[in-house]
Amino acid sequence: MNRALLIIDLQPDFCEGGALAVAGGNAVAAAIAKDVALRVASYSAIITTQDWHIEPGDHFSDQPDFVDSWPVHCVAGTNGAALHPLIAQLNVDAHFAKGRFTAAYSGFEARLLDTQADIADESGVLLAPWLRSRQIDTVDIVGLAADHCVRATALDAVAGGFTATVISTLTAAVNGENLPTVHEELRSAGVSVVSAS
């Protein structure tokens, strides 16, 4: 069994002080950095995903409904779209970007981001083939937000044949009241939901 850690959307715009802040985002970044330091040897790869919006259509709105439309956030190449500083310091094997020209929630919609030159490139390899090319069949999923992009990534992971675990204590939600329902949905789909060990 080869296991990867997927760090989902740990970006300044999703943390306190950002354009679309999730309460507890900075604490999650710190907890993930600490956890990686302890468990790095248990992973075949550590991967980040980032919202990387250029022209995502009606995903951005001046009057967002916070379900299908959102305030402007994580514009490609801006500080808000960068990795959180604590995550940027980690020894990461690959960075994947999603949502350049459309809404994108799942990390499995993301394409490999090699350099800043790839800012508008839609030809990079998708996450699932990248994992399979390295014989990775199991993923641990952490990051932001538990009730949106973490959820979507976990559901796509199991739908794509990966064994998936969400480490709930290394996530934070837009709406914490939704978490019991989200966790039940994930478990029903075959995702394991656990606390950090």
Query: CATH no. for residue 132?
Result: 3.40.50.850
Give me the pLDDT at residue 118, please. 55
Which segments in the chain show pLDDT lower than 50?
Answer: 117
Give me the pLDDT at residue 3, please. 96
Give me the pLDDT at residue 150, please. 97
**Locus of tokens 């959102």:** 70
Backbone angles phi, psi at 116, to 5 degrees: -60, -20
Q: Which domain holds residue 94?
A: 3-194
CA-based nearest residue to 172, from 195, 145, 192: 145
Give me the pLDDT at residue 33, please. 96
- What's the Rg (C-alpha) of the chain? 15
Quickly list DSSP for the chain.
--EEEEEE---GGGSTTSTT--TTHHHHHHHHHHHHHHHGGG-SEEEEEEE-BSS-GGGB-SS--SSS-B-S--BTTSGGGSPPHHHHTS--SEEEEE-SSS---SGGG-EE--SGGGTT---SPBHHHHHHHTT--EEEEEEE-TTTHHHHHHHHHHHTT-EEEEEEEEEE-SSGGGHHHHHHHHHHHT-EEE---
**Locus of tokens 């550590």:** 46
pLDDT tens column, 90-143: 999 999 999 888 889 999 999 998 755 455 556 688 999 999 999 999 999 999
Contacts of 153 (CB under 8 A, 6+ apart): 6, 8, 49, 105, 106, 107, 108, 141
- Known catalytic residues? 9, 98, 149
Could you tell me the pTM of the whole model? 0.93
Domain count, the chain: 1
Give me the pLDDT at residue 170, please. 97
Give me the pLDDT at residue 122, please. 65
